[in-house]
Chains A and B, each alone.
Chain A
């Protein structure tokens, strides 16, 4: 037994306090959505599917659609731009890594509001070239997810001897495409999966950039609907939280599958 470790009772107290910190607001929100006059019912939940109120909730469905498209484009940026670049840096330009890492981790220290100030003029140009579709936000989101996606992928890269695997594949006659798709990608699977899921979570939770650049996404739509129907906003908030929670569990499982395999 480790003498420095807290006792079982202490650990329970900590777990309950921390748990309460997260659970109490969610539970309150849940109770709020179930309130119906003096009693409880599911009326606010079923209302979401009520055709009569469809126009009221339309912004949320539109925002959700936009957010999902954004998530897909952002994941594509992570998988097809960030990951290959990281592999290239690792294999060919290892000396660039410290500078590259600094650049990629930088967005985490820049508040979204500051980012928007810099992005606004760029988006004016972008609007003329590509239109003002919500999907264009993916370029900004591609920057905000960089630090998270980078850490997830780099952990995978460091866990595998990519250089030797690449050289072995090359010596066996594989072109660069086959090396990337058949050797490197499968061995970075858990890292790429974690990076993708975490990118989805970040994109679905983003509010500041979308709001200030006047794009309608899930989070901004929630705000709009909340002004007319507080219950519906609360229901969607709970659903979004549940979805993010499921994503995090999926990331955890992806990581677990990897370490379990390495340990045996």
Chain B
């Protein structure tokens, strides 16, 4: 993923109190976290070990428990079982205000009655930092997100993206042990979203702060994370680097949720699966009998001869490439990603071929 905006020159270390004191981060650990809402169990013994300075995303559909996990870490929800560790200390019984965390929320959370500078200094003032010192450090934090020139504004005078950047500065200014991001980008429009996403990652790397990022947007998670924990129904289905998740999804759920796939019928033959005329290696457990195969669009090509005959259903221009949906002679819908120069139109007859890359499979329903 390339950033559409030029990288901003960050304030130099010696002049910026936040950068000068950038540490090595704190280890964060979830140990067997169980959380019930009434009779509904939303977290089933969640285990997750996050290394100091690591950026981990909790990714999953709504209702999968990712936000609940983050709120348990923040102390905003009390777990019914298990423990949360910050560094080596069990903080399960520690109230939110003593956990030394920074958090950015999905909804705008700046205090409406305080100016940007006072909002940013809020955490420092609660820690009894003198007014002048707090203002200086708040101003440094605002410089980090490029908004020090708006210090005198009120939140309602800022755009959504600016508000979330101030919220980020406010969360970082106290140099917390862990930064918690609860879908901070989902209220923003697409362009600002990508911009702020990359900015968050850049600042996180500069400060070396351990970060937990909750999102339902797989593209967002893939773009910024060191590791991603894909969650479903209160459990972690797979945890791994973005590459691992994308190239070797452990479960069909992960394959379906991360990246774009077409579901095509195949026949399992142990460590390989037969799809049309190709025998593809199976990622994960061996497959037998009739299965559904997850095919990535970039692993399917348009070819001049051979392959499988298909008819174009729709074709979308996406800049450097096109994504085309075709229907094969046996009625299967397949997405193909191909160079934009290979222009196709509705109802064109084409031929497709499948690359021999590892694929995920699941039993045919």
- In Å, the complex CA distance between A169 and B174 comes to 13
Residues in A lying within 8 Å of B, measured CB to CB: 160-161, 164-165, 167-175, 178, 182-183, 186-187, 189, 261-262, 264
CA distance A174 to B174 in the complex (A): 12
Complex Cα spacing A189 to B98, Å? 28
Q: Is the CB of B112 within 8 A of A173?
A: no
- Find out whether the CB atom of A171 lies under 8 angstroms from the CB atom of B101: yes
Question: Interface-forming stretch among B119-127, B209-217, B337-345?
Answer: B119-127
Residues of B with Cβ closer than 8 Å to A? 74-76, 95-98, 100-103, 105, 107-113, 122-123, 126-127, 156-157, 167, 170-171, 174, 180
Cβ contact within 8 Å between B107 and A164: yes
- A contact residues around B102 at 8 Å (CB): 171-172
**Beta-carbon contact of A167 and B111 below 8 Å:** no
Q: With a CB–CB cut-off of 8 A, which chain A residues contact B171? A: 171-172
CB-CB nearest 10 A-B residue pairs: A172-B123, A168-B109, A171-B103, A173-B126, A170-B96, A186-B113, A164-B109, A174-B126, A173-B97, A170-B97
- Name the contact of B174 in the complex, choosing from A172, A175, A186, A261 (C-beta under 8 A): A172
Contact yes or no, A165 B111, CB < 8 A: yes
Q: Are B76 and A168 in contact (CB under 8 A)?
A: no
Would A173 and B174 be within 8 Å (CB), given that A164-B107, A264-B156 are in contact? yes
Q: List 10 A-B contacts (CB under 8 A).
A: A160-B112, A164-B105, A165-B111, A167-B74, A171-B101, A172-B174, A173-B97, A173-B98, A173-B127, A187-B111
Which residues of A lie under 8 Å from residue B157 when comparing CB positions? 264
Output the residue of A167, A171, A174 with the most chain B CB within 10 A. A171
A171 to B113, CA, bound (A): 18
> Which chain A residues border B103 with CB–CB below 8 Å?
167-168, 171
* Known A164-B107, A167-B105: A172·B122 in contact at CB below 8 Å: yes
CB distance from B163 to the nearest CB of A (A): 12
How far apart are the CA atoms of A183 and B101 in the complex, in Å? 19
CA distance A128 to B250 in the complex (A): 77
* Chain A hits for B98, CB < 8 A: 173
- Complex Cα distance, B54 from A120, in Å, reads 68
Q: Is the interface of A mostly helix, strand, loop or mixed?
A: helix
Q: Provide the bound-state CA to CA distance between A172 and B121, in Å.
A: 10
Q: Tell me the minimal C-beta distance from B48 to chain A in angstroms.
A: 20
What residues on B are CB-neighbors of A264 within 8 Å?
156-157
Within the complex, which residue of A164, A172, A261 is in contact with B170, where a contact is CB–CB below 8 Å?
A172
Question: Which chain B residues lie closer than 8 Å to A178 at the CB level?
Answer: 126
B107 to chain A: which residues have CB within 8 Å?
161, 164
Take A170-B76, A173-B127, A261-B156 as given contacts and tell me if A187 and B97 are in contact as well, using a CB distance cutoff of 8 Å: no
Establish whether residues A171 and B126, one from each chain, have CB atoms under 8 Å apart when the complex forms.
no
CB < 8 Å neighbour of B105 from A168, A186, A187, A189 = A168
Q: Which residues of A contact B109 (CB under 8 A)?
A: 161, 164-165, 167-168
Question: In the assembled complex, how far is the CB of residue B173 from the closest CB belonging to chain A, in whole angstroms?
Answer: 9
**Is A172's CB under 8 angstroms from B126's CB?**
yes
Query: In the complex, what's the smallest C-beta–C-beta distance from B6 to chain A, in angstroms?
Result: 31
A174 contact set on B, CB distance < 8 A: 97, 122, 126
A173–B76 CB distance below 8 A: no
Closest to A174 in B: B126
Taking A164-B107, A171-B101, A172-B102 as known contacts, 16 extra A-B pairs with beta carbons closer than 8 A to each other, sorted by chain A number, are A161-B107, A165-B109, A167-B96, A167-B109, A168-B105, A170-B97, A171-B96, A172-B97, A172-B122, A172-B170, A172-B171, A173-B100, A174-B97, A183-B111, A187-B111, A189-B113
**List of A residues within 8 angstroms of B112 by Cβ:** 160, 187
Which A residues are in CB contact (< 8 Å) with B105? 164, 167-168
Q: Which residue of B lies closest to A172 (CB)?
A: B123
Contacts of A182 in B (CB 8 A): 122
Rounded to whole angstroms, the CA-CA distance of A172 and B123 in the bound complex is 5
Tell me the complex Cα distance, A167–B75, Å: 10
B123 to A173, Cβ gap below 8 A? Answer: yes
Question: Which of B105, B110, B127 gathers the greatest number of chain A CB atoms within 10 Å?
Answer: B105
Kindly list chain B residues whose C-beta atoms are within 8 Å of the C-beta of A175: 97, 126
